[in-house]
A and B are shown apart, each in its own frame.
Chain A
Amino acid sequence: MARVVILGGGVSGHTAATFAAKWLGNGHEVVVVTPNAKWNWIPSNIWVGVGQMKKEEVTFDLAPVYKKAGITYKQAKAVSLNPEGSETETKPFVTIEYTGQSKTGETEDVTYDYVINATGPKLNFGATPGLGEGSQLGDHTVSVCTADHAEHANHKLLESIEKMKKGERQKFLVGTGHGMCTCQGAAFEYIFNIEHELKKAGVRDMADIKWISNESFLGDFGMGGLHMKVGGYVVSSKIFSESLYAERGVDWMIGAHVSKVEAGSIDYELLDGTTGKENFDFAMLIPPFAGVGLKAYGKDGSDITDTVFAPNGFMKVDAKYDAGAYENWKASDWPRTYQNPTYNNMFACGIAFAPPHIISKPMSSPNGTPINPTPPRTGMPSGIIGKAVAHSVCDLITKGESAHLHEASMAEMGAACVASAGKGLTTGTAAAMTVYPVVPDFEKYPGTGRDTDYTFGEIGLAGHWIKHVLHHLFIYKAKLKPGWTLIPE
């Protein structure tokens, strides 16, 4: 009997775990190690952040789902990996520290035959001094990255609305909190949801709303821009965004790296090297991502973290990490099997794998500060990669070591994303976007590196409905209700 240990229970880890359990059946053991008691449909956190949904609507308890699927669930965080075992243990193992199940603080060594690292990112608030989510990390800015953060953000938003009702002007600043952030789409959604809520509350005229991001043009969305269909016309995401911002009275600042956050103000550096200060009363700034900080040790206890993980803390996989400068980047640099090159029984999926390089054109200020969006690895690609990795591991177990590994390159994969402004079923605007491939393939598609037929967006009410449908569909799928395997990633 083989044991597969999956670290993380997010989109990628949950997908990998549930498929592995289904494919392996009772003959083998699937273990999920995740510090969270609940599964969270992250895209809907935006709605929690403006009070349109309750935290309970976007999360559910993992324990009953894993029980039903026959998965061993350990509510714990992974601390370190021993891919060669130790002097006392011959099998490789992962050391975990419980965060629940009434064993909080206890540690345990869980041996494995295969391990899938799907820990997701560490929300690296520390990269920008003062940036936070309202707690010990920094209480000046809020975040919508987790359901708890979003709930807190809504609380702060309501406070600002109350102040405006009493006649106090409020300045809202929304965007990215560092030069190396991804997830501009989420911030884009949040700023327009705020705008929508302020209008509903009748205080829009008391608010100044400003966007700040590391994109080099408005409408980049970390994907280099795309075309949108708006009411029969086709327009580029740049011009669409510029007119949307102008129409809604939202000012913008791009090519910006937030270097410091203080109470009521941020310091920023622009791509041209100039610096400045921007004041705010309410700020939601997305933090950059980093690896969760797993350590790795050799058999003799020596630190081999550098062998297993890239310097940013993400796990090394079958990518080409020495591609060099922008002009040398190729689609083939991107990983296909997500297998660790040193240890064949280790895989990484979702945000946890180390990408070979970024996707957008690298930019930095004359002072050398990099200011560019980092590759999006969330949602659809995460799910697809998680499933492919689970498939590979299952085949390795059932068919033997020579089994063919399943491939899922982000350079051959499309992604869809929906950004809505407001939650109404009959009002508002939403952008539904698809890109193919996620990673530009300059050899196959000269110029932008993307297939223009598949890289397209559509603006309209339908996007709202899609977002609502996705919310229910994916929570249904994640709960493993009947027919869950039929719902695509």
Chain B
Amino acid sequence: MVLNLLKYPDERIRLISGNIRFFDDSLNNIITDLIDTMKANDLEALSAIQIGIQYAVIVLKEDGTYNPYINLRIIGHEGTKTETERTPYYEGISVDVPRHIKIKIFYEDEKGEAHYDDVEGDKARILQHHIDYNYGSTFVDRVDKETKQRIGEHLSEGLVESSNSSCPTVFVRDYIKQAYKYVMLLVWISFLVPFFTESISILDGLFLFDKIALALVVPIVILYAAYAYYESVKFKQCTSCQFGNVMGTIALAGVQWIILNVITYFWIAT
């Protein structure tokens, strides 16, 4: 069956393909779909994830026959050469990509028989290009930062967004953090006032202000903690140690809050 080729900005191209464990009819169906899709689109090679199937199957057209490379591994390499590559995923984009000239490969055929081979030239390049798809990558991951940026500018949604849409660059919780920081900053500034005036009424007013401000910090920090928890659950994949960061931030806020209280009590009130 001819299946649709994944096109940018389809995020499924980022999925890591699983190894084939069962050499049965379902594998044969995958291979047939790959071959049909290759014929329909006049392609020389195709990885299963390019038609949305998350398994490590690559089919290569060699001298008119379609050969499957299952669970392919590159276990040796020699030399590098840069040549231009294209992919149906990013239409209209071609990129110079460095690849190994000679590679040693391991793969299994449709019956699960293991094969080992030394490959070079175009075939080596095509296999290296297609094994990248198995690992959730495309050639843009193989080029330098500037080229990556140039490609990003060409694409309607850029590269960063397409590759990782679910991680925000700014968390809402950081705005809440800003809020309590500003309040505490005002209290810090208030400590300068006694240097300029000894008027009891002004200082009384200031003490009241500081008390209210410091009391206000508590619910804001609690709100921060609650929102940070919500965000860390929502964006659990975004950083590996959000919990630690949030705990640290709250601890720092707490320490600062205690210091401010002490200074307010001894410096402003008395």
| Chain A positions near chain B (C-beta within 8 angstroms) | 216-217, 225-227, 229, 232-239, 243, 253-255, 270-273, 326-327, 329, 361, 363, 366, 416, 432-434, 442, 446-449, 452-454, 456-458, 462, 466, 469
Contact = CB atoms under 8 A, between A and B. Distances in A.
A442 B21 contact: yes
Nearest to A227: B136
Interface residues of B, number: 39
Nearest to A361: B19
Residue among A229, A253, A329 with the highest chain B CB neighbour number at 10 A = A229
Given A239-B137, A255-B73, 4 more contacts: A217-B74, A271-B75, A271-B116, A446-B54
B100 to A, nearest CB: 10
Given A217-B73, A236-B137, A448-B54, A227 B14 contact: yes
B16 A434 contact: no
Contacts of B17: 447-448
13 contacts: A216-B75, A216-B106, A227-B16, A235-B137, A235-B141, A236-B137, A238-B137, A253-B76, A366-B116, A446-B18, A447-B54, A448-B17, A462-B239
Contact of B241 (A229, A326, A462): A462
Contacts of A226: 16
A472 B253 CA distance: 22
A464 B137 CA distance: 26
B15 A447 contact: yes
A472 to B, nearest CB: 13
Interface string B224-266: 0000000000001111110010000000000000000000000
B253 to A, nearest CB: 18
A329 B18 CA distance: 14
A233 B21 contact: no
Interface stretch (B59-67, B156-164, B174-182, B207-215): B156-164
Nearest to A251: B77
B114 A366 contact: yes
B167 interface: yes
Contact of A448 (B16, B159, B236): B16
A239 B19 CA distance: 18
B135 interface: yes
Given A227-B136, A447-B54, A270 B160 contact: no
B18 A272 contact: no
Contact of A456 (B18, B55, B106, B237): B237
A474 to B, nearest CB: 13
A236 B21 contact: no
Residue among B15, B54, B71, B136 with the highest chain A CB neighbour number at 10 A = B136
Contacts of A217: 73-74, 135
Nearest to A453: B237
Interface in B74-91: 74-76
A456 B136 CA distance: 13
